[in-house]
Amino acid sequence: MNPSPYFRTPLTRRAMLQRCSLGFGSIALSGLLADQGYGAISPDAKPPGPHFKPRAKRVIFCYMSGGVSHVDSFDPKPELAKRNGQPMPVPVKPTMVQ
């Protein structure tokens, strides 16, 4: 049986320092090399463009948390058309608030 990654034992201070020591060293090394210009980007370097001509000029992104699900929005609902404007026969209570 594979152990769950969510219930691992916590790290000791020694293990945390061993794992983080390379990270601290690489941060210090990048600072030293940046002062000498080794990490600099040449001024004429630019990112490559896409391999095809883009057609879209603008994009509208709507993030609607708690919106209607895709199942409810495309299924035909003839009963909904019959009961348009009438009160609900059963009281509906919200079960979850986002």
pLDDT in tens, 21-62: 878 788 888 888 877 777 666 777 777 788 888 888 898 887
- Tell whether 18 is covered by a domain: yes
pLDDT in tens, 57-74: 898 887 777 777 777 777
- Tell whether 15 is covered by a domain: yes
Confidence of residue 95 (pLDDT cuts 50, 70, 90): low
- pTM flag (> 0.85): no
Residue 80, both tokens: 């909904």
Q: Buried b / exposed e across 34-66, counting CB within 10 Å, b at 16+? A: eeeeeeeeeeeeeeeeeeeeeeeeeeeeeeeee
For the chain, the domain total comes to 1
- Tell whether 23 is covered by a domain: yes
- Tell whether 13 is covered by a domain: yes
- Tell whether 76 is covered by a domain: no
| Largest separation between any pair of C-alpha atoms in the chain | 76
Chain length of the chain:
98
- Tell whether 14 is covered by a domain: yes
